[in-house]
Amino acid sequence: MASRREVAELAGVSEATVSRVLNGVGPVREETRQRVLEAARKLNYQIHALAASFARGRSGNLGVVLPHVPKVRLFSTYYFSEMLDGIGEAVRERGMGLLLLYRRPQEPFDYVPLFGSVRIDACIVLGASSLPEEEAGIRAMADEGLPFCMIDHRSGDGRASSVCAAHEEGSRRAVQHLIESGYRKIGFLNGSPWYSPSREREAGYMRALREAGLAPDPKRMFAGNYSRTSGRRAAEDVYARLRDLDAIFVANDRMAIGLMQALRERGVRVPDDLAIVGCDDSDAAAMVDPPLTSVRVPFGAMGRTAAERLLDRLPDWRGTESVFHETLATELVVRESSAPRS
């Protein structure tokens, strides 16, 4: 097994610097930190994270709180699995532990005690919404000046750190693509407005229509809850208004695929009768028939970025002074489901 001295020699730094980097203690230049981490990876060097954390009076754990949804296998969903993969990479590189905790969505959750008795050092919140019951727990953490970050949700409390995606711009580009492909009667199937990505995607949809001189029509807007089942349910309303639609933008791939499947059962051809564009660019998007055009959202990079920024700031966390906000770019991936109108 490699030693700390060997890591220091390979990285060209002192053993003390290796200790600071791997224990997350003290100021270290980013270039130096990356060099040390790369040397540790090459040598397969594993620090004794538990002993190091006790020496610092910490647990050595990053907590991730996610919603418990009955009958939904969260770890098999693209959204959560990609984020957790990114978080896990950053945590592993720092020799820390990852503690997963569940909360009931749409109910109050007290995050603050999780930091007591050195159970977790910092917290990442996944799947949060703007419901007052959920916002209360976020405000409590902010009031205490605790180190935490939300992924893919912008809280109404500016003291909550966040790492999000450029949903408005991604949605604008998706609808612009449909317009450039010859479609004019473009509908929108959205998720719950309590989630900030829903509001941002709707803003992008509206913006693209306005820029093209097209008037939004409330009759072309439909509601779901981000599940495939809700996409199937929405198919009934979409089918009833099919004469007033030639394309539809859907706020995530799960709903888009459910909608596509249910419409096919009614004899609707995609894209001949209705072009469909999804959002997320999940693994399933390229596998459905026809392959689904989708806005690629970098969930893995969002998870990694959130963990890195949070853990980098942890040794010198100063409450609201340490709060950060980052927005990662999205990308439109064009496939057959939105082929140019013939």
167-297+331-338 has which fold?
Rossmann fold (3.40.50)
Q: How far is CA 307 from CA 137, 256, 312, in A?
A: 20, 30, 8
- Position 49 scores a pLDDT of 47
Per-residue pLDDT of the chain (342 residues; tens, 9 = 90+): 567 778 889 999 987 788 777 766 556 788 888 888 888 888 877 654 444 444 455 678 999 999 887 665 555 688 889 999 999 999 998 888 999 999 988 888 999 888 876 589 999 999 999 999 999 999 999 998 999 999 999 998 889 999 999 999 999 999 999 999 999 999 999 999 999 999 999 999 999 999 999 999 999 999 999 999 999 999 999 999 999 999 999 999 999 999 999 999 999 999 999 999 999 999 999 999 999 999 999 999 999 999 999 999 988 888 888 999 999 999 999 999 999 987
Tokens encoding 288: 């459905």
Q: What is the CATH number of domain 4-55?
A: 1.10.260
For residue 249, what are the contacts with CB-CB under 8 A and spacing of at least 6? 171, 174, 175, 178, 186, 187, 188, 189, 205, 277, 279
- Position 268 scores a pLDDT of 97
pTM over 0.85: no
User: What is the β-pairing status of strands 148-151 and 161-165?
Assistant: parallel
Tokens encoding 167: 């949903």
Same fold, 4-55 and 61-165+299-328: no
Closest CA relative to residue 105, chosen from 153, 135, 141, 69? 69
Q: Is 282 helix (H, G, I), strand (E, B) or coil?
A: coil
Closest CA relative to residue 101, chosen from 111, 86, 92? 111
**CA 245, 329, 155, 307 torsion-angle sign:** positive
- Position 328 scores a pLDDT of 98
Q: Is 223 helix (H, G, I), strand (E, B) or coil?
A: strand
Question: Taking the domains of the chain in order of start, what are their residue ranges?
Answer: 4-55, 61-165+299-328, 167-297+331-338
CATH architecture for the domain at 61-165+299-328:
3-Layer(aba) Sandwich (3.40)
Q: Cβ atoms within 10 A of the Cβ of 263, count?
A: 24
